[in-house]
Amino acid sequence: MASKRTFNAKNLEALGAAALAELLIEVSGGNAVIQRRLRLALAAAEGIDGAVQDVRKRLTAIDRASTFVDSARRKALVADLEAQLQAINHRSDRGR
């Protein structure tokens, strides 16, 4: 039997929604990629239209960006694009 301190979904669920929400806000502070991912999850919770709109909005913003992505920013951009891809794949799997 796993300890109550083991980092797993069951133990995190036991913390409750309010505690988890506070932790997410705390750990996402200053991390734009995580904040966008959380906003995308909120949009997806409203339905597929909200998720589609959010993904389109983010991809349009990335397309319009004119800054050069150096090696320091590359990791964040890749994480952002992967989050968008996960959202697209997740929503398309649920829509079937």
Q: Can you tell me the distance from the alpha carbon of 69 to that of 79, in angstroms, rounded to the nearest whole number?
A: 13
Q: Which of 26-35, 54-63, 78-87 has the lowest mean pLDDT?
A: 78-87
Kindly report the number of other CB atoms within 10 A of residue 12's CB atom.
13
User: What is the chain's Cα-based Rg?
Assistant: 16
Kindly report the number of other CB atoms within 10 A of residue 43's CB atom.
20
Q: Can you tell me the distance from the alpha carbon of 75 to that of 36, in angstroms, rounded to the nearest whole number?
A: 15
| C-alpha separations of 22 from 18, 27, 36 in Å | 6, 9, 16
Q: What confidence tens digit (pLDDT) does each residue in 12-31 have?
A: 999 999 999 999 999 999 88
